[in-house]
Each structure stands twice: as structure tokens, then as C-alpha cells.
Amino acid sequence: MGVSSTEKPVALVTGGSRGIGRACALGLAEDGYDIVINYVGNKQAANEVAAGVAARHRRALVVQGDVGSEADMLQLFKAVDGFGRLAVLVNNAGVVDVAARVDEMSLERLIRMMQINVIGSFLCAREAVKRMSTRHGGKGGAIINIGSVAAILGAPAQYVDYAAAKGAVDSMTIGLGREVAAEGIRVNAVRPGLIETDIHASGGIPDRVQKLAGFVPMQRGGTAEEVADSVRWLASPKASYVVGAIITVSGGR
Ligand code: NAP
């Protein structure tokens, strides 16, 4: 894995302050990238990840911004430009909402779900392609989207809106992957199952992993690091012929 010691390209991880994003940021630092850590509200957590990157002898830049806001994302990518050459984007920032049936979902909820999970991923991918594509004078790169097994399970009576948003992320992975494959950019995705992070508490079920672990063929939840390992592989030259792939990391779920 890793990159040469003379060149230190940049990896941007959206939602890099906690959970899967944090594990990706620290893992990619180990692989030799300087890291831009985007977060939306938890500055302390982002700064702790930056300290972890520094401990791995790489530079870190922490940038606040809501991925669903175009203005914020333009600011974020401006900051990236001042930091170094963007080689990897991990489109990780994502949210769930509390369990609800579709016939209970408000317009506000639906808009938030799509704004952050879908439009946020598109805005970041758009800005990354502008910088990475050989068509725009770039040197290529890798974009890794974080999907979810919800996209194929549908998440009935829980969050069909989230599942549908992640379905859109899968489609974007395939379509954009083919769109820019000849321009030096590999677009792929990792599709996590039940992973031990704070996201379940934000959906109102902090013990969701423990509750559902018995339904996972491997009989346990996964760790953020187990997801990050696939992200790191997709970012690396080891995945040089992999485009539009969606790697399921779910213990068989
Ligand atoms: P998490 O522990 O809740 O962390 C979410 C991260 O995203 C935090 O760093 C948070 O920043 C950031 N974030 C949230 N909204 C944002 C926004 N609007 N703009 C920028 N950053 C934002 O979540 P996680 O479990 O690590 O999930 C990461 C990704 O994996 C998501 O796309 C999620 O859908 C996907 N996923 C997770 C699981 C699972 O079981 N955990 C399963 C399948 C897919 P702050 O720290 O500033 O709040």
C-alpha cells in the first residue's frame, strides 16, 4: 500500500472526525497521505484525529463544513488546494434519522437525508474530479464512496429514506466510475453493514449493534477499522484495475 516518501499527496475524508471517517483518516495517514479532515460540528473530535495523523508523521488540516452546503464545500476544496495535491477523496459523511415509516416522513426529513447523503457526495465528487481528472490537467486519483447494505436491504420501518439515499450513492459510484475511468480517476465504494460507531445513537438506538448482531452471519458488528481497510485498499495502487466496484463489508449480512 502506501505512497513514496518523496511525494505526499493529500487524502480528503469528509466526516473524518468520528467513526468510519476517523479510521479512514488515520489509516490513510499510515499509508503516507497528508490528510484533510472535514467535520460539521465536533471540532474537538476532528482535532484529536489531526493529532493522530501528526503522530503518524503526516500533516493534517481540519476544515469545518456541511457536505450538503455548496458554499461550504467550495470553501473546503479551496482549503484543500492550499494544502496539497488531492489524490484521494473518501465521501464518508452521512446521517441517519430516527426510525419511521415512509408514511410518517416529513419533507424536511427527506430533504436533509438526500442533501447530506446524496447531494453532499455529488458536490465533493464534482470538485474532486475537477482537480484529479487528466481532462482538467490533473494527475488522476481515487474516489471512494461509503454506501450501506441498507441500499440492498431497504431498511423497512426504520429508514427507507436513508436506504434509498445510499442506493443513489451506489448508482453514482457505477456511473461516475465509468464516466471518468479514462481520465485517471478510479471511483469505487465500500458498503458497510452493522458497524460500531456513534451513528446508531444519532438514530435513537445506541445499542443497535448489540441488538442486531445475532442476525449477522458472523454473529458480530464490525469495526470502523475493518471498513477503513477496504477503503485503504481501494485508494492504493493494489486496486489499479478496480473501477465502479462496491465492496460489501458486512460480516455476511
Ligand atoms: P458517525 O459515527 O455518526 O460519524 C459521522 C461523521 O460524519 C462525523 O465525523 C460527523 O462530523 C460527520 N458528518 C455528519 N454530518 C455531516 C455533514 N452534514 N457534513 C460533514 N460532515 C458530517 O457515522 P459512521 O457510522 O462513522 O458513518 C460514516 C459513513 O458510513 C456514513 O456515510 C454512514 O451512512 C455509513 N455507514 C455506517 C454504518 C454503521 O453501521 N455505522 C453502516 C453503513 C454505512 P461531526 O463529528 O462533526 O459530527
- Digit-by-digit pLDDT tens for the chain (253 residues) are 555 445 689 999 999 999 999 999 999 999 999 999 999 999 999 999 999 999 999 999 999 999 999 999 999 999 999 999 999 999 999 999 999 999 999 999 999 999 999 999 999 999 999 999 999 999 999 999 999 999 999 999 999 999 999 999 999 999 999 999 999 999 999 999 999 999 999 999 999 999 999 999 999 999 999 999 999 999 999 999 999 999 999 999 9
Distance between CA atoms of residues 45 and 37, nearest Å: 10
pLDDT at residue number 190: 99
Instruction: Break the chain into its structural domains and give their ranges.
Output: 10-249
Q: Cα of 38 to ligand 1 centre, how many Å?
A: 11
Query: Could you tell me the fold of the domain covering 10-249?
Result: Rossmann fold (3.40.50)
199 ligand 1 Cβ < 6 A: yes
How far away, in angstroms, is 136 Cα from ligand 1 center?
30
Question: Is 221 close to ligand 1, i.e. is its CB under 6 Å away?
Answer: no
The edge-to-edge listing of strands for the beta sheet with 60-64 is 60-64, 34-39, 10-13, 86-91, 141-146, 185-192, 246-249
Q: So what's the pLDDT on residue 3?
A: 54
Distance between CA atoms of residues 217 and 180, nearest Å: 36
Per-residue pLDDT tens digits for 183-218: 999 999 999 999 999 999 999 999 999 999 999 999
